[in-house]
Amino acid sequence: MLLLSVAGFAALVTVFGALLSLVVARTVVTPPRRRSTAIRVLARDLGRSLVTFSSTPDSRLPGRYSYFFEGDVGSARIGDIVSSDAGTVTRRVIDVTAGDLIVGVRGRFSGWYYIDPSEFGFPYENIELTTELGAAPAWLIPSAEQTGRWVINVHGRAVRRQETLRAVPVFHDAGYTSLLISYRNDGDAPASEDRRYALGDTEWRDVDVAVEYAIANGATQVVLMGWSMGGATVLQELTRSAHAGIIRGVVLDSPVIDWATALRFQGELRRLPEPVSEGALSIIGTDWGRRLTGQGVAIDLPRLDFVKRAAELHVPILLMHSDDDGFVPITASRALASERPDIVTFEAFSVAAHAKLWNFDPVRWTSAISQWLAELATSGHN
């Protein structure tokens, strides 16, 4: 009887672990419908342009950010920390861009400091790129003079092209036309039939359309910039596109260099048993598993591993990542930099979190890109 009880318990644990793996796998590939709004406004000093928030890792992070109100009914730009204690953080208010920043408002901090390209004062166009799924909106910001140099900016998972606006000024100053794109399942571009992320394994095809557009409109050299999952996506474009010859360099901000490493890291943060994380990887990466998550095709995880594929990379790469990135660990970025010091310029930050490197230290971030672009202009890759 005891042996039967033990066997039954073991079977129950196995079933529970399998179900948890499926939940994790579904979460990874399914675009989220809601965003956490855990940060509350506790006090507002209008005379001194100060606001006091509840204390969270995001509200305590130094730098400049946007604070989006719950339901995206408004936003404010938030600056330096003035004071803090165990439960509160008081910061300067730079401006309120929409709505009312009042006591009781709940919201979230975001690296989207800019919301619209009109904020820069540069001429720009709203355009549509014709992808295989339909028309995908994009922002086109021409360089001041026709140089033939273009940068295509690709945002990360669960966000939109506003994430990439922070890069516009530095590339504009360097004479680049900026193309900020949307891609399948991001909420702006058309959804794929399965409405699931492929973690870059199919999204790169929308980047390829952007490269084709750039070529058709006078680009003679292209730099790709990828943020977070956008990093995985542009590396697929670099290694799988028929137009790869025009790509002269890649800039990566908090990128996913290897999805298996990133997902295992997420499992450890959530204190999931190792078999659960491994099971989730198996589910999204196999034909039998993708049927459970609703994916149209299985994700080729080895093809997304650019530590192992480092030898296939052939253009200069500026790689920027923070040691305290709580979503995508810096380990794979360090490994790629170690594997390819001949082409990778590595900028390791320490207290900048995930995809908030510009927000934390805009001078260093901008200088790193400016210097890298200057070196690219004189290198044999141009």
In the prediction, which pLDDT does 1 show? 52
Q: Check whether residue 104 and residue 126 sit in a common domain.
A: no
Q: Check whether residue 93 and residue 141 sit in a common domain.
A: no
In the prediction, which pLDDT does 44 show? 96
For residues 106 and 34, the answer to whether their CB atoms sit within 8 Å is no
Q: Check whether residue 81 and residue 133 sit in a common domain.
A: no
Position of tokens 């943060």?
269
Q: Check whether residue 237 and residue 198 sit in a common domain.
A: yes
330 within some domain: yes
In the prediction, which pLDDT does 72 show? 87
Picking from 65, 95, 110, the residue at the C-terminal end of a domain is 110
Strand partners, 229: none
In tens digits, what is the pLDDT along the chain, a chain of 382 residues? 544 454 443 444 455 567 889 899 999 999 998 777 889 999 999 888 999 999 999 999 999 999 999 988 999 999 999 999 999 999 999 999 999 999 999 999 999 999 999 999 999 999 999 999 999 999 999 999 999 999 999 999 999 999 999 999 999 999 999 999 999 999 999 999 999 999 999 999 999 999 999 999 999 999 999 999 999 999 999 999 999 999 999 999 999 999 999 999 999 988 989 999 999 999 999 999 999 999 999 999 999 999 999 999 999 999 999 999 999 999 999 999 999 999 999 999 999 999 999 999 999 999 999 999 999 999 865 4
Give dist(CA 108, CA 10) in Å, integer. 41
Q: Check whether residue 63 and residue 124 sit in a common domain.
A: no
Picking from 110, 130, 149, the residue at the C-terminal end of a domain is 110
Q: Check whether residue 264 and residue 374 sit in a common domain.
A: yes
In the prediction, which pLDDT does 19 show? 86
Q: Check whether residue 160 and residue 52 sit in a common domain.
A: no
Q: Check whether residue 161 and residue 100 sit in a common domain.
A: no
Question: Which three-class secondary structure string do you get for 156-195?
Answer: CCCCCHHHHHHHHHHHHHCCCEEEEECCCCCCCCCCCCCC
6 within some domain: no
CA 26, chain centre distance (Å): 19
26 within some domain: no
CATH for 209 = 3.40.50.1820
Q: Check whether residue 59 and residue 199 sit in a common domain.
A: no
For residues 327 and 318, the answer to whether their CB atoms sit within 8 Å is no
30 within some domain: no
366 within some domain: yes
Report the number of distinct structural domains present in the chain: 2
- Ramachandran class of 184: left when φ > 0, alpha when ψ lies in -120 to 50, beta otherwise: beta
In the prediction, which pLDDT does 8 show? 47
Q: Check whether residue 275 and residue 217 sit in a common domain.
A: yes
Contacts of 367 (CB under 8 A, 6+ apart): none
Range of the domain at 46: 39-110
Which of 321, 146, 145 has the alpha carbon at shortest distance from 220? 146
Q: Check whether residue 90 and residue 135 sit in a common domain.
A: no
Q: What are phi and psi of 285, to 5 degrees?
A: -105, 5
Contacts of 27 (CB under 8 A, 6+ apart): none
CATH for 83 = 2.40.10
Give dist(CA 53, CA 89) in Å, integer. 5
Three-state SS at 290? helix
Picking from 110, 125, 150, the residue at the C-terminal end of a domain is 110
13 within some domain: no
In the prediction, which pLDDT does 5 show? 54
Three-state SS at 97? strand
Q: Check whether residue 205 and residue 154 sit in a common domain.
A: yes
283 within some domain: yes
In the prediction, which pLDDT does 12 show? 42
169 within some domain: yes
Give dist(CA 374, CA 364) in Å, integer. 15
